Amino acid sequence: MKNKNDVLVFGLAIFAMFFGAGNLIFPPEIGLTTGKEWLSASAGFFLTGICLPVCGLLAFSRVTDINKFGNKVSNKFNTGYFTLLILSIGPMLGIPRTAATAYEMGIAPNFGNINPLLVSSIYFIVVYILVINPSKLINNIGKYLTPIILTILMAIILKGVFMEFGVPGNKIIHQNSFSYGFFGGYQTMDAITSVILGAIIIKALKSNGYIRETEQRTMIVKSGLLAGLGMAVIYGGLLYLGAMANGNGLSLSRSELIMYFAKTTLGSLGIAALGMCVTAACLTTSIALVAIVADFFSERTKLSYKAIATLTCAISAVLAATGLGFIIDIAVPILTILYPITIILIALNIFKIENDNIFKASVYTGLLFSILEVISKSEISDNITGTFNTLPFSSEGFAWLLPTLFIAMFARTLKNRPKIMRQV
């Protein structure tokens, strides 16, 4: 049933689903390393850590159906793309990693070395309970979990700003500050998540009475922008805390830095509060991802939504307790291939490109160069590695960008030429 507060509830839910533990530890570290150039780094981080994910939601609102997002390439490609995407950020890597992070930063520092399998089992029982009723999923996240995250983080940020940890000093990296922030936001991988979160949001909107596509699109735009504003406030605050800590000459790891802020600002309760925040952030991400996996495969197999949700939670609980090293080794090359394709599809959909040839040329070019990047990093061939590293933006992971733009423009020319000849 529609409610005047729906934009707020959905905006808070989108914020929470994006805001995993990785988003919590990246901004302070970027502020610490860029010092008094933290504003430049913030601009880069906001571009890829906020604008790109929100654009992913907006792009999905253009199609409102997971089956249409990449179907202009081909239906088989779209199915294969989303299958790999969901498996990669789902049970292969993303979901187990949230539980492992919650254990490392939320449970172990406060309760000691409890059996990881016991912790992950309890964690995924909670996830399952919240996921099993998808019609209330967004409302539960927006009403209950997000306020916990925001309250704790705002307490740390506001107290830290008034305490004045120090004055931002010179950056401690040789890289351009904007670029450092840009690729820090890129590594959060929220852009990949955004195109599948759209499916969950559409489903929740329908259950809340938003049946027409125009209504759904308007709600996604408004709530997505609200979520982006919330992320900008939190990211900006954490970046500034890191920049102030730069002036004190602190040299801490990402996780140590955020724990230092929590303990310094909130005293003896700081670590406990941070643990609650990290656990809540990880839970919201897990809930969204399990729901996506269950929804996607229940529509394409004979298994029910509940059965797939149960299986996903069970597998993730075991993987989270036994370690993720071998999973990451498998998942990273897949994500290296999927990320450029996702960015290309976001751009094509958000600008409503109707030319199928441009879709095919852009995506397949991006795919080719992404595969070459995986090969170059594996160092199977020194010739391939050396040649690939000479391409523009290859060191930043964007070797695919210029070739894709060039091929897309060429494909558009080929498409338009017969029309001109017919007019003559």
**Residue 204 within any structural domain of the chain:** yes
pTM of the model: 0.82
Say whether both 286 and 424 belong to one domain: no
Residue 424's SS3 state is coil
What tokens were used for 65? 């159906």
DSSP string, 218-268: HHHHHHHHHHHHHHHHHHHHHHHHHHHHHTTT----HHHHHHHHHHHHHGG
Say whether both 311 and 418 belong to one domain: no
Say whether both 84 and 159 belong to one domain: yes
Give the model's pLDDT for residue 323. Answer: 60
Say whether both 326 and 197 belong to one domain: yes
Q: Distance (Å, rounded) from C-alpha 368 to C-alpha 391? A: 14
Give the model's pLDDT for residue 137. Answer: 62
For every one of its 424 residues, what pLDDT tens digit does the chain have, with 9 covering 90 and above?
A: 567 788 988 898 888 888 876 688 889 999 999 999 999 999 999 988 899 999 999 898 888 888 899 999 999 999 999 998 888 888 888 888 888 888 878 888 888 778 888 999 999 999 998 888 755 666 666 677 778 888 888 999 999 888 877 788 888 887 788 888 888 887 777 888 888 888 878 888 888 888 888 888 889 889 999 999 999 999 999 999 999 888 777 777 777 888 888 888 888 788 888 888 888 888 888 888 898 899 889 988 999 999 999 999 999 998 888 765 566 666 668 778 888 899 999 999 998 898 999 999 999 999 999 998 888 877 676 777 778 788 888 776 788 999 999 999 988 887 554 444 444 3
Helix 213-246 vs helix 6-18: crossing angle, to nearest 10: 50
User: What residue numbers bound the domain in which 422 lies?
Assistant: 353-424
**Residue 238 within any structural domain of the chain:** yes
Give the model's pLDDT for residue 345. Answer: 95
Residue 70 is which amino acid? G
Give backbone dihedrals phi and psi of 73, rounded to 5 degrees, phi first: -75, -55
Which of 322, 352, 382 is the last residue in one of the domains?
352
Give the model's pLDDT for residue 419. Answer: 44
Give the model's pLDDT for residue 138. Answer: 62
Say whether both 291 and 368 belong to one domain: no
Say whether both 33 and 152 belong to one domain: yes
Say whether both 264 and 285 belong to one domain: yes
Q: Distance (Å, rounded) from C-alpha 142 to C-alpha 136? A: 10
Q: Distance (Å, rounded) from C-alpha 103 to C-alpha 306? A: 25
**Residue 123 within any structural domain of the chain:** yes
Dihedral sign from CA coordinates of 403, 408, 414, 417: negative
Give backbone dihedrals phi and psi of 69, rounded to 5 degrees, phi first: -65, -40
Instruction: Kindly report the CATH number assigned to the domain that includes residue 293.
Output: 1.10.4160.10
Q: Distance (Å, rounded) from C-alpha 234 to C-alpha 312? A: 31
Say whether both 226 and 116 belong to one domain: yes
Nearest CA among 22, 53, 8 for reference residue 228 = 53
* Burial degree of 262 (CB within 10 A; 0-12, 13-18, 19+): buried
Are the beta carbons of 294 and 132 closer than 8 angstroms? no
Q: Distance (Å, rounded) from C-alpha 91 to C-alpha 28? A: 28
Which of 327, 352, 377 is the last residue in one of the domains?
352
**Residue 315 within any structural domain of the chain:** yes
Estimate to the nearest angstrom the gap between the alpha carbon of 61 and the chain centroid. Answer: 17
Helix 21-34 vs helix 94-101: crossing angle, to nearest 10: 70
**Residue 83 within any structural domain of the chain:** yes
DSSP string, 259-323: HHHHHHHHGGGHHHHHHHHHHHHHHHHHHHHHHHHHHHHHTTSSS-HHHHHHHHHHHHHHHHHH-
Say whether both 357 and 339 belong to one domain: no
Say whether both 289 and 181 belong to one domain: yes
**Residue 416 within any structural domain of the chain:** yes
Say whether both 279 and 421 belong to one domain: no
What tokens were used for 352? 């409503």
Q: Distance (Å, rounded) from C-alpha 202 to C-alpha 67? A: 13
Tally of structural domains, the chain: 2
Say whether both 324 and 388 belong to one domain: no
Q: Distance (Å, rounded) from C-alpha 405 to C-alpha 117? A: 47
Contact partners, residue 276, CB within 8 Å, separation at least 6? 106, 148, 152
**Residue 25 within any structural domain of the chain:** yes
Question: What's the Cα-to-Cα distance from 392 to each of 139, 388, 406, rounded to whole Å?
Answer: 45, 9, 13
Q: Distance (Å, rounded) from C-alpha 85 to C-alpha 326? A: 18
**Residue 1 within any structural domain of the chain:** no
Which of 337, 352, 367 is the last residue in one of the domains?
352
